A and B are shown apart, each in its own frame.
Chain A
Amino acid sequence: MAKLLVYTEVSQGKLVSIGLEILSRAAQLGEAEAILLGSAPDDAVQTLGNYGAKTVYRCADPIFDQHLAAPAVKVIEDLISQQKPDAVLFGTTYAGRDIASALSARLDSGALTDVGELEIEDGSFVATIPALGASYQNTATITNAGTKLMLVRPKAFEARAVGGSARVEDVPAPSGADLQRVLVTNSVVEKAEGPQLEEANVVVSGGRGLKSAEHFQMVRDLAELMGGAVGATRAIVDAGWVPYSLQVGQTGKSVKPSIYIALGISGAIQHLAGMKGSNTIIAVNTDPDAPIFKNADFGVVGDVFKVVPQLIEEIKKRKGSA
């Protein structure tokens, strides 16, 4: 049976959901084991067991919180040489990419990113990778011998509680000056209002078509009215209208809400990559040729400054009469 190690990241005192998603898939493909480094919630091991981990390699040393990547790279390198897993899986996250890319160079091993589906066929991993956002997809494999490194897209797999329990294997803290070269001196939370973007049932996003930062209020108003979260394109986070934490897309967050409403968004492939898995997509844009309409279930070619206020009024009216 294939043995798969999953790097299960902790951020802001919580297990990151992508770790549980990958663990669920790993448990279907073979024996799943989790790597849990740094500070973590008290019930983390229990949760990882519940999502399919048979073993949790655990080291709670503060070195992982104080320094970027290098300590985790060292621990995972050692785990690979001792445990010889068939694969180590990471989320396509900031930390996941830092760690996996360093490991790839150190082990002289290939690495696949942005994995959307994963199968084992005749003993080798076959990963489906939606290349260039949305326009085509490849299947690919890693050909070097030994442990394969793969980074999985957020929301590629469903996190499934299976009710198992994991045994803990304590891993010694790594040491050495070269592991402490990158020092984290501060962490700043830019708080998003309303429900979490990744968890929300409804997401309302704005793009450059809103023309200026103050018009983003329209996006917030509609989201609030629908009990949804707000999102944004890379163009407007780059322009500084809203914080990076709201960015939906290949370099931002991947969302799969029931309803995604795109306001003034043309639908660049890198944005589509982060939201095209949404159940229902609604778009408003002045340009009838905007790619967003090819992906929309319902689209209105028109001026967001006319259509959206009317929509907001209409929802208020219907809610009032209900």
Chain B
Amino acid sequence: MSAIRLPWSLQENPRLGNWVDFSRAGVVRAFTAKVELGQGIVTAMAQIAAEELRLPLARVVLISGDTRYCPNESYTAGSMSIEVGGVSLRIACAEARETLIAKAAEMLSADASRLSVDDGAILLDGAPSGLDYWKVAPSIDFERPITGLAQLSNPRRTTYLGRSAARVDLPAKITGGGFIQDLELPGMLHARVLRPPSNSARLETLDLSAASLLPGVVKIWHSGDFVGICCEREYQAVKALEALRAGANWVEDETYPISQNWTESLPAMRSIDSESEHGARSVMEDGTIRLSATYSKPPIAHAAMGPSCAIACYENAKLTVWTHSQGVFPLRAALADALKMDEAAIVVIHVQGAGCYGHNGADDAALDAALLAREVSSRPIRVQWMRDDELAWAPFGSPMVVTIEGVVTKAGKIADWSTEIWSAPHGRRPSGRSTNLLGAAHMEPPIPFPELHEDLQAFAGGARNSEPPYDVIHRKVLLHSLPGLPFRTSALRTLGGYANVFAAESFIDELAQAAGLDALEFRLRNLPDPRSRRVLESAARMARWRANAERGKGSAAGIGFCRYKNTAAYVAVIAEVEVNREVRVRKVFCAVDAGLVINPDGVINQIEGGIIQSISWTLKEQVVFDRRRVVTSSWETYPILRFDEIPDVEVALIESDEPAPLGVGEAAQGPAAAAVGNAVASALDYRIRDLPITRARIIASAG
């Protein structure tokens, strides 16, 4: 009906009533399936709705991630919440406003151009008309499809867009509540699930006698390798879990690889290969430089501060689940599949959890709670994972190996760039199927994790950001997708983008060095795109970049750049490090072009956090296994960056007249890693290509 191409969320949820509701006097309810993960999305969405409806923020009630009310927008993922979900809500709210004004004009027999809105009241020639949004709304058809033709507010003259707004969720979180872990429902029981000690473990015998005698135990449910216990009080459940563990005998196999030298082990595995190639391979001239290098990253953990939690209540053949899942609709479908229930009998409600950076244990915990809730009808069941559950059982970010081969001409131009990637899947969310939920795989009969050989979509994230941003005549990407890793990997912030950008931005430094050019100069020489150049030049100015600084002095600066996914925000990072057995990152400068920014302070906060988290991944983090088990199941064995190791971070947003917002949530991870890696290489005059850059690797490099 219109030539306008609507964002995906609007295509899927075209009714005006999918997005806004005026049925409650004095407030507008705006609906989104994008959920708060600590990234500030709820605040930004409320800003968007208030802006386009010309309302004070206080009149907007944002309903987020509730299958009863919200549009089905799949997952909160991929730095797309504002780009797609936010733009959709904006279009819907603008259309609601125009539709209401047009109807009011009709009711007042006046031309719409004479009408305006003040705090929801409709003014005629600037004076009260007696009408407001809520009086007009009943005359509007909210079933009508959104056309996308409404005039959006001008970003230069806005009340909320582009202005920093305080996070609406923070006050509750620092005064006593705010999280799903804090939700207490009447009659609620506390549950724990006895996870197997390893992926391969099968329950041989289970002695319930000690656990069942403990105080407060209401129900022990055992099906296959799934064992859950429900108690009246929480610590009773903790103690009962200990008793269950003592009574369980498991049979385990040695399924984990002997070598955790990923550079050796991943390329040796069976793979499904896909290749893309652009441009013609150049003929080697005299004086060209050909270089090849291999980089790796280990599996890493989400490691949320609050272990996963869910509450479920089964009553009158209906199931209600409270969850911190990133996708309430796909989870609802997955639960229906696993429990053999009709989707219509399940309600899934998002409640905020601890920071989440992808597919962690949230969905698994939801099924845990649902399985136990079916066994104890009418009482809400709260499942709380323990710390070792979270670190050992939430899916990991895949280990990856990246080899890049490049050619530089005499003129300092990149002629050839070929990338070869080995990666396990990054996309194994439940996505509407019961497969890939832990409880489903453990219960009897088990619903095993799916065979991966045909699910190429699961691997797509491995190639993220593997296409170099630079102007290269011939480029090729060969992705080796590895279906056979013996542990579960899935979405973690950037998917393959972190390793691919670390590799590419390390490699370009290696090329620059081989060509005898400064790292910044070499990038700019091969980067015609003005927005890319601008962030690099801005970061260089902020950091007072010194060209061709002397190497091997123990301290140095390094650069990293990417445009996330080659479609989202542009980020350039310069890190200053000192290396003395360990790496200390002292100062980080970052320039970001995110296009139209909804909440500048929110964007800066995301970028700062992304940089610090990336430094933690880059210097410290790796999931370690013995032949049977995950070894890194505590903070002691899986250390993350601490307060006394944090650099100063300075972030600048590039002023932009661009009309489109660009996703930022994941955009800093790759460039920050590369900046640190390049700085370390310069400080040591020796490059460490395998992550994390630990003390042991630095000492080995000195030897």
Say whether A associates with B: no
B-contacting residues of A (Cβ < 8 Å)? none
B residues sitting closer than 8 Å to A (CB atoms) are none
